[in-house]
Structure 1
């Protein structure tokens, strides 16, 4: 199948693509050639059997419509390259078999219409192979203190416009059940601007806080790339019904006070700037990410209202002259990260100074665990009510590490030895004496705006006034292209009363 596009949107005659050759000319002559006036006579796509022509028109119509009198051959080649990159980013075509062919339209039979004798006229052909429309997968995961089994089905190019439908189901030792379905599609054929709709339902045990949480809801999401380097933005509205249930016999009063149903209606913005050379085993570059959520305020409804923000900065760098340190020449990499978070209770509706309820346990931050702060149990840092981790409203966490090559391995080996130190602090909002008999926050007592501000200042001051809880250790890292696996031995160095440590081996599975 050949989808064709000619000036004005009419179909051009199909022909076999011929690759143009650039003569072996001196650089100045080639440079002069790229400055000659040029236009594109037609664009054809071969192999897009299940793809709508309207989608291809959005990508390629700008190439053939209204060529300016000063448009040069070099500018057209850049436009063709950008259109080709967009075609690939639709993620519906295979890499193998993909090709772009450019030929001189003057090779057409004499009398062909639409050719301009004063300009170089080009015919452009794209040859593609579509990916399988249906992909099924199933498997098991072990790590992060949980074992689970999952099934996944992905339907690509559902209606011929690069839409995708993903359906997932999983069950495990901690996540009893989780189901979600996501439908997404590019807007106006732009792979860098996608809209998605998601529905989810899950049931998760949280033994660090003696309860089980059930979720059911959905979200509407708009994601786009911005800037020359492709910074990622995502804006989403979500409505989720949460039920805190299945309380253990020894559940603390704080957990019992938050048990039952709640409805969260929120808007979330996520920004990501990732300049690392690898997401699983970076050797250079940096990462900056922010997640900001506004719930229950203004036109948003629900029975929780707050502003919640989290920021992360991470970086990595390879030491100079690494061959001196190791025969293989594999880089020795040093890296670090810093995360900060704040949850600020707000009055519901449009009120700025009205009373605000303290945050709930299922909205607060939790800190600790093999993928968070190593050397501590899940939820092991921060405020506790008895043995239950009840979370906090302000936190800071950081880490430093050094990646060393294993003996007898080369630079391409995905295995590394890791030396690390990490720590963090998690603090709850002080409620000016409005606490229950066990010292935990009383979720039934509202705070006025001045009390919230004083409590937040006190929490931030406490966060910065003392040393963080700290652990250090050594481990083995395996960087798979899809995920990163770690096996670490951790030794807690600083801990606070009530915090729960995890001395010894911890396994980690990073998606």
Structure 2
């Protein structure tokens, strides 16, 4: 195996690569031997070029420990041709970036020279810049149909092996607040595990249900990837929650649940994301399944499953048809464990069932949304660029127009072995709406929608939203 020089400060360059005019290669798919093209240039298949890595240099290290760097880059020595060297170097760069220790990672490949050089040997140099010891800032965050001001302070690469301490304070436009202090550490293993522990305090108000909620607790999270596109999160959460009524006119069904509760739960989240982009994808699909079991302690107990599916199919240039499905099932446990209103599912609003107010579909009491144990929702969208493509290649690419149809149902259904009856329960009192609108991409993390909605089917007690509806968030159905 070759040698890793973790703190190399000077790399000797061979004259044929380090000086003179740049060399240009047209990459093709011809046979192994180079074939002359009509232009006089050569097409070279990189897979047929013999190459191996003799040495790896990592330039710019200071606080980062050598052992974690060696483990990250050592797979590059397995390359057997020039194409594998290029692809392997790119993967190593992604792994170095995932450590959370560096910024501005550059890759340089040169002919091997000096002691230990082989006839087809190469030297690969990664030039890195370590993050500052203490970083902070003030920015904004979008989610749950509201905007938040975020004040953050973090200490990256605290002990030299990717450890990080993060402090964050959030204040939302809908009077939500949050304080999180988290410590995370990458662990060794082929699945790139990362362990995170955090303590938090979060407050939120829910006017459609006439209650406000304050959570204080601790969260332990182990994240790992079983493949390049499949992410797992194993979590334990201990949460002391205090519910109180927003107004004196809150429904009795809400007031009777006011007071403190203690939840101790374990959770597994599996996400398989093969979309080409998280916002406005043109192809690929998303699968996410969340399973939570509460009842290991405290007075809250349930088994909760929630599923999210999405598929994107390109039709013509810039035109994409998207289908999405969401569903959830909450099962009560036997005994003295209870389920709080904040544990139940809600449906309605611009993020899931457009054409209805936030939490506007489902069981209500005196005008307050109570949530339910079962829900499902589905949507079909046709996304197109702006008419006449204004600002193509620049600002115009941030916008999409879309027409949509969405439907769903929510209720406290009781399922049996009679599958026809179960299906009838899910189909009765179906809610649906259609419309059109404009969506704006905000970076690669969120989007904004302005839609004109027309509700079609409404159940008794629902709160439809006919006309213009505005939404901003991360996960839209």
TM-score normalised by L of structure 2: 0.83
**Whole-angstrom CA distance in 1 between matches of 2:64 and 2:189:** 11
| Cα deviation digits, residues 239-266 of structure 1 (max 9, x gap) | 1111111352122222122211111111
- Tell me: CA distance 1:184–1:90, structure 2 relative to 1, closer, same or farther (3 Å): same
Q: Which residue of structure 2 lines up, in the alignment, with residue 351 of structure 1? A: none
- Tell me: CA distance 1:458–1:196, structure 2 relative to 1, closer, same or farther (3 Å): farther
1:385 and 2:365 aligned: yes
**Whole-angstrom CA distance in 2 between matches of 1:32 and 1:403:** 38
1:418 and 2:380 aligned: no
Q: Which residue, out of 44, 58, 76, partners 1:45?
A: 58
Q: Verify the 8 A CA contact 1:86 1:190 in the aligned structure 2.
A: no
**Whole-angstrom CA distance in 2 between matches of 1:507 and 1:333:** 22
- TM-superposed CA distance for 1:375, in Å, is 1.4
Q: Verify the 8 A CA contact 1:39 1:73 in the aligned structure 2.
A: no
Q: Verify the 8 A CA contact 2:437 2:449 in the aligned structure 1.
A: yes
Q: Could you tell which deviates more after superposition, 464-473 or 208-217?
A: 464-473
| Cα deviation digits, residues 317-350 of structure 1 (max 9, x gap) | 2223x5xxxxxxxx22221201111001123xxx
- Tell me: CA distance 1:239–1:458, structure 2 relative to 1, closer, same or farther (3 Å): farther
Matches within 5 A, 1:62-141: 72-73=80-81, 77=85, 79-95=88-104, 98-104=106-112, 107-108=113-114, 112=115, 115=116, 120-139=120-139
**Whole-angstrom CA distance in 1 between matches of 2:6 and 2:447:** 49
Q: Which residue, out of 293, 297, 314, partners 1:318?
A: 314
- TM-superposed CA distance for 1:120, in Å, is 4.8
Matches within 5 A, 1:155-174: 155-174=155-174
1:334 and 2:321 aligned: yes
- Tell me: CA distance 1:455–1:187, structure 2 relative to 1, closer, same or farther (3 Å): same
- TM-superposed CA distance for 1:465, in Å, is 3.5
- TM-superposed CA distance for 1:73, in Å, is 4.7
Q: Verify the 8 A CA contact 2:8 2:58 in the aligned structure 1.
A: no
**Whole-angstrom CA distance in 1 between matches of 2:373 and 2:461:** 18
RMSD: 3.4
Q: Verify the 8 A CA contact 1:17 1:101 in the aligned structure 2.
A: no
**Whole-angstrom CA distance in 1 between matches of 2:369 and 2:350:** 16
Q: Verify the 8 A CA contact 1:34 1:72 in the aligned structure 2.
A: no
- Tell me: CA distance 1:137–1:375, structure 2 relative to 1, closer, same or farther (3 Å): farther
Q: Which residue of structure 1 lines up, in the alignment, with residue 13 of structure 2? A: 18
Matches within 5 A, 1:112-511: 112=115, 115=116, 120-139=120-139, 146=146, 148-188=148-188, 192-227=192-227, 229-296=228-295, 300-320=296-316, 322=317, 331-347=318-334, 355=335, 357=337, 359-408=339-388, 409=390, 411-412=392-393, 413-429=397-413, 460-461=422-423, 463-466=425-428, 468-482=430-444, 483-511=446-474
Bigger strand share: 2
Secondary structure, counterpart of 1:493 in structure 2: strand
Secondary structure, counterpart of 1:160 in structure 2: coil
**Whole-angstrom CA distance in 2 between matches of 1:253 and 1:459:** 32
- TM-superposed CA distance for 1:133, in Å, is 4.7
Secondary structure, counterpart of 1:304 in structure 2: coil
Q: Count matched residues.
A: 449
Q: Verify the 8 A CA contact 2:430 2:459 in the aligned structure 1.
A: no
Secondary structure, counterpart of 2:409 in structure 1: strand
- TM-superposed CA distance for 1:140, in Å, is 5.0
- Tell me: CA distance 1:251–1:456, structure 2 relative to 1, closer, same or farther (3 Å): farther
**Whole-angstrom CA distance in 1 between matches of 2:145 and 2:46:** 64
Q: Which residue, out of 58, 63, 81, partners 2:71?
A: 58
- TM-superposed CA distance for 1:138, in Å, is 2.3
**Whole-angstrom CA distance in 1 between matches of 2:5 and 2:380:** 60
| Cα deviation digits, residues 492-511 of structure 1 (max 9, x gap) | 21111111122222221123
Q: Verify the 8 A CA contact 2:139 2:151 in the aligned structure 1.
A: yes
| Cα deviation digits, residues 414-472 of structure 1 (max 9, x gap) | 11222112121111155xxxxxxxxxxxxxxxxxxxxxx75998994454242521122
**Whole-angstrom CA distance in 2 between matches of 1:405 and 1:367:** 29
- Tell me: CA distance 1:101–1:247, structure 2 relative to 1, closer, same or farther (3 Å): same
- TM-superposed CA distance for 1:398, in Å, is 0.9
**Whole-angstrom CA distance in 1 between matches of 2:52 and 2:184:** 37
When Rg is computed on C-alpha atoms for both structures, the one with the higher figure is: 1
TM-score normalised by L of structure 1: 0.78
